């Protein structure tokens, strides 16, 4: 299956929190989108890996993505080395995305910046023909995504460009709320974490509003880039 967009996150819920509005918008326009989680988030304070598996599946259904896979890397302890790169390369070659969305280049959680570099490196290496990979007994063709865009997470990084997601914020929030073990609930008996407060849940809206304010729309999501974004015409800009 060829995808238009492959959204990759270090943990289940990274994608939903950061670029679900963009995903929902592009799916509404007929694009094929998939999600790849690097870990099961097994070291998270709240919930379990099994619960998060179920929540990730529910979130994927809310968004309407074509596929969601998990590489089951070790949470917090995965590294940017050949073995981890090769597993991501196999996924990139399997789905041949035009665009990869992935973790923030710098963030509070150490896995996020680490994943950003790992994924970016794997996207480059995936285009090298002399790197051979086999999946299900078949050799894979080299494939390099046209673009790698890093979504913004905890830190308020300055975006290189922003995507208008007006009309898709509700779907984004619904996908986040699929992770019931992780976020605010009056009835929860789980320990408090930086993302379990009502303020954090509210921040999904007010951050999208603030990003939208910058481009004179209701809501938006920001991205950083590894290389300059080009347009065919200045009239392509909104």
By C-alpha distance, which of 141, 172, 144 is closest to 59? 172
What is the fold, at CATH topology level, of the domain defined by 5-236? Rossmann fold (3.40.50)
Tens of pLDDT, residue by residue over 168-200, are 999 999 999 999 999 988 788 889 999 999 999
Work out the average pLDDT over 24-36: 98
69-87 pLDDT, tens digit per residue, is 999 999 999 999 999 999 9
How many Å is the Cα radius of gyration of the chain?
17
Q: What is the chain's mean pLDDT, rounded?
A: 96
- Spatial contact of 145 and 95, defined as CB atoms under 8 Å apart: no
**pLDDT confidence of 238, banded at 50, 70, 90?**
confident
* Residue tagged 């609930």 (tokens): 185
Indicate the pTM of the whole model.
0.97
Domain spans of the chain? Answer: 5-236
The pLDDT assigned to 78 comes to 98
For 107-116, the pLDDT digits (tens) are: 999 999 999 9
């Amino acid at each position: 299956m060829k995808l238009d967009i492959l959204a990759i996150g270090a943990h289940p819920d990274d994608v939903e929190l950061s670029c679900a509005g963009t995903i929902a918008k592009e799916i509404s326009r007929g694009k094929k989108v998939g999600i790849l989680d690097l870990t099961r988030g097994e070291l998270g304070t709240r919930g379990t890996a099994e619960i998060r598996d179920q929540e990730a599946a529910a979130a994927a259904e809310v968004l309407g993505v074509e596929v969601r896979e998990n590489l089951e890397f070790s949470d917090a302890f995965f590294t940017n080395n050949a073995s981890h790169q090769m597993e991501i390369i196999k996924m990139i070659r399997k789905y041949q995305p035009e665009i990869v969305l992935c973790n923030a280049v710098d963030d509070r959680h150490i896995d996020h910046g680490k994943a950003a570099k790992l994924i970016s490196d794997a996207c480059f290496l995936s285009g090298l023909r002399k790197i051979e990979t086999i999946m299900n007994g078949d050799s894979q063709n080299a494939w390099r995504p046209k673009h790698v865009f890093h979504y913004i997470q905890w830190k308020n990084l300055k975006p290189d460009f922003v995507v208008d997601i007006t009309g898709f914020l509700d779907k984004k929030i619904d996908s986040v709320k699929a992770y019931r073990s992780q976020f605010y609930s009056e009835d929860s008996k789980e320990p408090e974490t930086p993302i379990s407060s009502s303020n954090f849940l509210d921040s999904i809206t007010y951050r999208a509003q603030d990003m939208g304010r910058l481009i004179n729309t209701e809501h938006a999501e920001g991205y950083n880039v590894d290389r300059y974004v080009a347009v065919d015409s200045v009239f392509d800009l909104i």
